[in-house]
Structure 1
């Protein structure tokens, strides 16, 4: 409803895979309402890594098997932290690591040539519980 009222040209939704509930519901709703014109991008941790709040598809998603996801994007935890910090600095939004992973995935997709239009990025967490990880990353990467 908000997308329609804002006259958005919705082309896709990018969200992390947690329990798979919200991403599955978004896929079911938007694909049934708008067809294949809306693409669903699922974000998961890169193999062998952990990003709090999101899981890999093979860990046993309850709902993801019932809907269509157009692409699954792997993100390394350092990318998630880096993008969360960038969003905090540029936009003033203190997002968490799973949200940072969503931004990292979107930036990668955009660099690969996403179709022009509007995209929804789902930010399910805040950064307060990750302050120590942000601090460790900044200390480790300072020049």
Structure 2
């Protein structure tokens, strides 16, 4: 804040000082900083999102081999072709879908590189359900 006091305006300095003094005392000399307290973020483990269900994943990515039996893929609903695979357990089937099967045409994540592990497991569950 700038105060201009005229020179030789006919007023004495004491009366001018008396008028200006209250202004000086009430004018803040520093700006108070606002303190913002941010709460600590809580880490929450999210449930895996499944944007496609098993049938959708199958129709998008698995049908090309598993509908026709291409490259030795077990056909959807073919109990005989799936028997030995199912006997190994569902975790083995999940692993095959996610990690591929070396020495076969079944590659990592089949033909769905963008599918999550949960989506691939849902596709396996869908195919197994078609057998039972």
What range is the shorter-chain TM-score in? under 0.3
Is the radius of gyration larger for structure 1 or structure 2?
2
The TM-score with structure 2 as length reference comes to 0.24
The TM-score with structure 1 as length reference comes to 0.23
Structure with greater strand share of residues: 1
